[in-house]
Amino acid sequence: MSWSGSNELRAVLDRARRHVVSNGLQVTGKITVPVTAETPDLYRLALAMRRVKVDSTSTKVPIYVQSLDSWLQRPLNGGRSLLEVLDAESPLVDRPAERSAKNDAVDRAREQVHTVLAAPEHRQWLELIDAARVTAPDLLSGTVFDAVRILAVLPAEGESPVELSERVLGDTKALTDTPVRRWVLRLLAAAVGVDEPSTGAERAAMWEQFGVIDSGLASRVLTLGVRLEGHPAAATISGAAADAGVHQVWTLAQLRAWTATLAAGEVYVCENPTVVEAAERELGARCRPLLCTEGVPSEAVRQLLRTARGAVHWRGDFDWTGLRTTGRACTEFGALPWLMDAATYREALDRGDSEMLKSTDTRAESPWDPELAQALETSGRAVMEERLIPVLLEHLRR
């Protein structure tokens, strides 16, 4: 009886293919083929291959792979080995070898990442990458490798994303809407303990925290009573605004074009524009030099404060972001926390209802007053800076 083209032989070969591709293309072992309505004579085929005990009542037929191989090599059955028959139908793939090669490639990609971030100052990035869900495709595509090459050179010094990607990756479009940009921003957000940015404004703000400027016009700093030096125009405009007791907004592009710096003397820093509005209304020209970050400090804010030649008094909202930015200011500018202590927080907390701390925000420390972070964690509530305006104005009054 010829079995060529039969449903029975097809069923046996299909099961044999799954078996050999999973064991490294070894013609060994045994397969079990279920009997179906389409393969009623499967037991006869198995008997033709010998070494099995089956009959017409069997629902499953065991077949030794070596016996199948020998049977196929008989001239009446085609004269080809099992592997030759299967490969002719569809190229065989050694799955174990394929997996091993893929695992080796993934390991090499991980080693490349660790090599780029080998310096002690990059340890944070390694920890964040290990904690992230880095997939094999991300590693094998080079996406994560390119992302860590960007991370390794941060903070930048005011480059745009285009300039940064060209300098580091040799590709001006690598930090547009690409997987590389998404990985970089995801890790930057994790580093500062906030959600991954999802809008253009959020992405620009995140880049700015690490010295990358999407636009010198969008990066700005709000001031009141602040006098600048370094260029006649900057000095004239800032002096006129300070004398009149009105606010002034400076863009990063202006500060750079005029090489503007802070005049000597102390400066106070707040987080919310409402504080500036109240100070302008109530104090005007009698307000001490006040600079507003309008949230997370922009590069324009940081550029001005790097030129400070007096004490920098810093505060923000009583939430984890406020603690985090204050801690950074202490490190970067030698800032002095201004009414950012546990006592002030508790007093403000008692004055009215307060919103809950964001569950998505990461806990921060307050090294200048460890009791403050503990108080926030205990209460679970945030106090916005606006509640402290009367107290802040007393401190800002000349």
Other residues' Cβ atoms within 10 Å of the Cβ of residue 317:
22
pLDDT over 90 at 102, yes or no = no
pLDDT at 299: 83
Residue 138 C-beta-side C-alpha neighbours within 13 Å? 18
pLDDT over 90 at 359, yes or no = no
Please tell me the distance from the alpha carbon of residue 275 to that of residue 190, in angstroms, as a whole number: 29
Residue whose pair of structure tokens reads 């302008």 in the numeric block? 280
pLDDT at 378: 96
Name the phi and psi angles at 63, rounded to 5: -135, 130
pLDDT at 216: 63
Amino acid at 104: D
Multiple choice CATH, 220-396, 3.40.1130, 1.20.120, 3.40.630, 3.40.1360: 3.40.1360
Residues of the chain with CATH 3.40.1360: 220-396
Q: How confident is the model at residue 15 (pLDDT cuts 50, 70, 90)?
A: very high
pLDDT per residue as tens digits for the range 151-197: 999 988 888 899 999 999 999 999 988 999 999 999 999 988 888 88
The predicted model gives 135-156 an average pLDDT of: 91
- Name the nearest CA neighbour of 239 among 259, 257, 260: 260
Q: How confident is the model at residue 272 (pLDDT cuts 50, 70, 90)?
A: very high
Residue whose pair of structure tokens reads 């393969």 in the numeric block? 39
- Contact status, residue 266 vs residue 224, Cβ threshold 8 Å: no
